[in-house]
Amino acid sequence: MDRLLIKNLSVSIEGKKILDNVSLEIKRGEIAALMGPNGSGKTSLAYAIMGHPNYTVDSGEIIYKNQNILELSPDKRAKLGIFLSFQYPQEIPGVSVSNFLRTAYNNLKGIKVDVMEFLKKINDKMELLNIDKSFSQRHLNDGFSGGEKKKCEILQMAVFEPEIAILDETDSGTDVDALRVIGEGVNKINKNSNSGVLVITHYNRILKYLKPDRVYIMMNGRIVKEGDHRLADEIEEKGYKVIKV
């Protein structure tokens, strides 16, 4: 099946239980949203999926392409087509967006892409995402606003064309313009590349631009409710207090 399946996952950090029996799925071609208050465990789930060494999986499985990816290194998980954006991208001054993306792309695909061919790819993707042409020549994260960092991540996702993408708090610290670029961009990538996307968010601002096929609510490390896009609307209207646990 073309889906990432998380089954009864429990995770701890330094002996402290963070995720408790979490099950969810990300299907290719679909958008799923993971919502929950601060500290509920959303980022921890993203890190566990990518194999961050600080997160100990105590039980459960993550299945993709008929294998339990928990047995694979983070690098192998990425090569399998799983992409994670970071909540706080590190700043790397002096490297252009274009060069950074090309190096990362070569690493990921295990090839040495032609420079001109790659520039064309980036330009095409920037056009698709309505990102200004000059953006790829900017120095990576050097004086980037929150919104620009997020645009950079969306561009990276568009260029990598991952099968499964996890976007963590892509709407935090972004202005309305960046939010629209990101929201519309995720929709286009989802359709064009048939990516399965998990959008992780505390607010539902980004969900004004995205209509998730599935919404999961996380509280205290557990998935407490599951539904369609109407569940996100309900949270927007009434807040997390409506969820009875």
Ligand X SMILES: Nc1ncnc2c1ncn2[C@@H]1O[C@H](COP(=O)(O)OP(=O)(O)O)[C@@H](O)[C@H]1O
The contact set with Mg ion (CB under 5 A) reads 42-43
Asked whether position 201 contacts ligand X by CB under 6 A, the answer is no
Asked whether position 34 contacts ligand X by CB under 6 A, the answer is no
Nearest approach, Cβ of 218 to ligand X (angstroms)? 7
Nearest approach, Cβ of 128 to Mg ion (angstroms)? 28
Report what 41 binds from Mg ion, ligand X, none; CB cut-off 5-8 Å by kind: ligand X
Q: If DSSP codes are grouped into helix, strand and coil, which group holds residue 158?
A: helix
Count of residues that interact with ligand X, criterion CB under 6 A: 11
Cβ-based nearer residue to Mg ion, 42 or 151: 42
Nearest approach, Cβ of 150 to ligand X (angstroms)? 16
| Cβ within 8 Å of residue 71, ≥6 positions away | none
Alpha carbon distance 130, 158 (integer Å): 12
Asked whether position 43 contacts ligand X by CB under 6 A, the answer is yes
Alpha carbon distance 8, 22 (integer Å): 5
Q: Which two tokens stand for residue 43?
A: 């980022």
- With contacts defined by CB under 6 A, name the span among 38-46, 71-79, 100-108, 128-136 that binds ligand X: 38-46
Binding residue for ligand X, selected from 10, 44, 174, 193, defined by CB under 6 A? 44
Alpha carbon distance 245, 243 (integer Å): 6
Asked whether position 170 contacts ligand X by CB under 6 A, the answer is no
Binding residue for ligand X, selected from 6, 32, 42, 216, defined by CB under 6 A? 42
Site for ligand X, residues 6 to 25, rule: CB under 6 A: 13, 18
Alpha carbon distance 14, 230 (integer Å): 37
Cβ–Cβ under 8 Å, residues 100 and 108? no
Alpha carbon distance 105, 136 (integer Å): 14
| Cβ within 8 Å of residue 245, ≥6 positions away | 219, 220, 222, 224
Q: Which two tokens stand for residue 223?
A: 């998935």
User: Minimal CA–CA distance to 125: which of 93, 97, 85, 88?
Assistant: 97
Binding residue for ligand X, selected from 9, 24, 36, 232, defined by CB under 6 A? 36
- With contacts defined by CB under 6 A, name the span among 31-39, 76-84, 95-103, 235-243 that binds ligand X: 31-39
Cβ-based nearer residue to Mg ion, 16 or 244: 16
Burial class (CB in 10 A: 0-12, 13-18, 19+), 191: exposed
Asked whether position 57 contacts ligand X by CB under 6 A, the answer is no
Residues that bind ligand X (CB under 6 A): 13, 18, 36, 38-44, 54
